[in-house]
Chains A and B, each alone.
Chain A
Amino acid sequence: MKKLLTSVSIALLLTLPLTTMATPQQDLEAFQDYYQERFPGTPFDDFINGVYSIDPASREQWEEIEEFPPYELSISRGQELFNKPFANGKTYASCFASGGIGIRQNYPYFDTTRGEVITLELSINECREANGEKPLKWNKGPIADISAYMAYTSRGNVFDIKIPDDPRAIAAYERGKKHFYQKRGQLNMACADCHKFYAGNMVRADLLSPALGHLSHFPVYRSKWGGMGTTHRRYGGCNKQVRAKPYKSQSAEYRALEYFHTYMSNGLAVNGPGARK
C-alpha cells in the first residue's frame, strides 16, 4: 500500500508543470537569503554557531564554556571506540572513505543504488552489523560519542550535500522540506515557525535558533541532557515539545528531514560536536 502511494505521488510530482516547482537550488538560495536579511549583522560563516551568532550576551557565556568544553570527554571516548577493533579484527575505518576521518560533511547523502538517504549514524551501525557486531542505540551513548569524534575530525570542512537527478532523491528532499514547513502536534507548530519565522525571538527563557547552520554542530552536547545526543534525538525531542508523536530515530521521515535540513546549510563548515543549552 505504501509502495503504491509512493509511486502514485512520484507520478503526480512528475506530471506537475516543472516550471511552477522550485528546484532545491532555488529553495537553498531563497532560504539562505532569508536569514541573511533577517540577521544582517551576522556574517554567513557565523550561522554555524546558532543563537550565539545572533545574541552577544549568550555568546560570551558560550565562549567561556568552549575554553573547556563539556563534549571533550565524549570525543575522547568516541576516539577510543572508533579505534577499537571489532571481534573480527576490523575497525570502523574499513567501512568509511578516508578511514572515517574528515568525512562528516558528506552526510547525509542519497544512495542511488539503495534508493534511500544514508546518515552518519546509520552508516556507523551498518558498519557494526557488517562486521558481526550488535547495532548501537540511535540517540545517545556510544553512537553519539563515535559520531562526535568523527565530526570533530571534520571541523572546518564545508558541507556540499548533493541531490542527484533522481526522482527518489528529489522525493526524499521534498519529504524533508514538507516536514520542516508542516504544522504538527497539539501546539500546531512547524519547525519553520520557531526556526525560520520566529528565529531570534524568545520562547520562555530560550532564544530560537535560526535553521541555517543548524546541523553543522551535531552531534551536540546539551546541558539539558547532561550529555551528547544525535540529530534524531533532537528531532524526536522537538516533535514531543509541540506535543506531536515523534517518529522513530533513523526512520525514513527523519532521514528525509535531515537530508533537507543539511542541504539548506550547504556552504557552511562543520563545527561539531557543539555545546548548547
Chain B
Amino acid sequence: MAIKIRAKAKDGVTTVKTLMSHPMETGLRKNSKTGEKIPANHITEVTAAHNGNVIMTANWGGAISKNPYLSFKFKGAAAGDKITITWVDNMGQGDSAEAAIK
C-alpha cells in the first residue's frame, strides 16, 4: 500500500496530484473459479491537509477505479508547505503520506 504525492505551487495556485495503491473492489465482482462475490474493499474517505489543516475531504465509493489518481488545486499555500494525504477504507484499513510543495 503506497501513496505517491506531487505538489507544485505556481502563481499562487497549488496543484496536488496523488496516486494511491488500492484494489478498490466494488463487492459485486465474482471470483471466476468459485463463483463467490469478492468482498467490497474500497476507499471510503480521502482527506487532504495543508500544514495540518484539512483542506479537502472526498467521500468515495466502489465506482472509483483501482489505484486511484486524484488531482486538485487550491490557493493560499507556498513552496515548502506540507501536504498530507490520508485515506480510510471500508475494511478499516488506512494509510497516510506527506510531501512538501515544490
Co-complex (A, B): yes
- Which A residues are within 8 Å of any B CB, using their own CB? 67-68, 70, 72-73, 76, 226-227
* A76→B2 contact, CB < 8 A: yes
Which residues of chain B come closer than 8 Å to A70, judged between CB atoms?
A: 19, 67, 69
Task: Mark contacts of B6-45 with chain A using CB atoms, 8 A cut-off: 1 yes-contact digit, 0 otherwise.
Answer: 1000000000010101000000000000000000000000
Q: How large is the interface on B (under 10, 10 to 19, 20 to 34, 35 or more residues)?
A: 10 to 19
Which residues of chain A come closer than 8 Å to B19, judged between CB atoms?
A: 68, 70, 72-73
Report how far A68 CA is from B17 CA in the complex, Å. 7
- Please name 6 further chain A to chain B contacts, defined as beta carbons within 8 Å, in addition to the given A70-B69, A73-B4, A73-B19, sorted by A numbering: A67-B6, A67-B17, A70-B19, A73-B21, A73-B67, A227-B66
Measured CB to CB, the closest approach of chain A to B41, in angstroms, equals 15
- The 8 Å CB contact of A226, one of B17, B65, B71, is B65
Report how far A70 CA is from B19 CA in the complex, Å. 8
Listed by A's residue number, 6 A-B pairs whose Cβ atoms lie within 8 Å are A68-B4, A68-B6, A72-B4, A73-B4, A73-B19, A226-B66
Which residues of chain A come closer than 8 Å to B4, judged between CB atoms?
A: 68, 72-73
- Which residues of B from 51 to 95 have beta carbons under 8 Å from A? 65-67, 69, 71
Report how far A73 CA is from B3 CA in the complex, Å. 9
Closest A residue to B23 by beta carbon equals A226
Report how far A76 CA is from B17 CA in the complex, Å. 18
Measured CB to CB, the closest approach of chain B to A63, in angstroms, equals 14
Closest B residue to A223 by beta carbon equals B65
A-B pairs, top 4 by smallest CB distance, nearest first, are A68-B17, A226-B66, A73-B21, A68-B19
Report how far A70 CA is from B58 CA in the complex, Å. 21
* B2→A73 contact, CB < 8 A: yes
Report how far A67 CA is from B6 CA in the complex, Å. 10
Report how far A76 CA is from B2 CA in the complex, Å. 10
Measured CB to CB, the closest approach of chain B to A197, in angstroms, equals 35
Report how far A76 CA is from B20 CA in the complex, Å. 13
Report how far A211 CA is from B82 CA in the complex, Å. 45
Which residues of chain A come closer than 8 Å to B71, judged between CB atoms?
A: 68
Measured CB to CB, the closest approach of chain B to A220, in angstroms, equals 15
Which residues of chain A come closer than 8 Å to B65, judged between CB atoms?
A: 226
Scoring A68, A72, A73 by chain B CB atoms within 10 A of each residue's CB, the highest score goes to: A68
- The 8 Å CB contact of A68, one of B2, B21, B69, is B69
Which residues of chain A come closer than 8 Å to B67, judged between CB atoms?
A: 70, 73, 226
Measured CB to CB, the closest approach of chain A to B38, in angstroms, equals 14
Report how far A70 CA is from B21 CA in the complex, Å. 10
Report how far A111 CA is from B15 CA in the complex, Å. 50
Closest B residue to A76 by beta carbon equals B2
Which residues of chain B come closer than 8 Å to A73, judged between CB atoms?
A: 2, 4, 19, 21, 67
Which residues of chain B come closer than 8 Å to A227, judged between CB atoms?
A: 66
Which residues of chain B come closer than 8 Å to A68, judged between CB atoms?
A: 4, 6, 17, 19, 69, 71
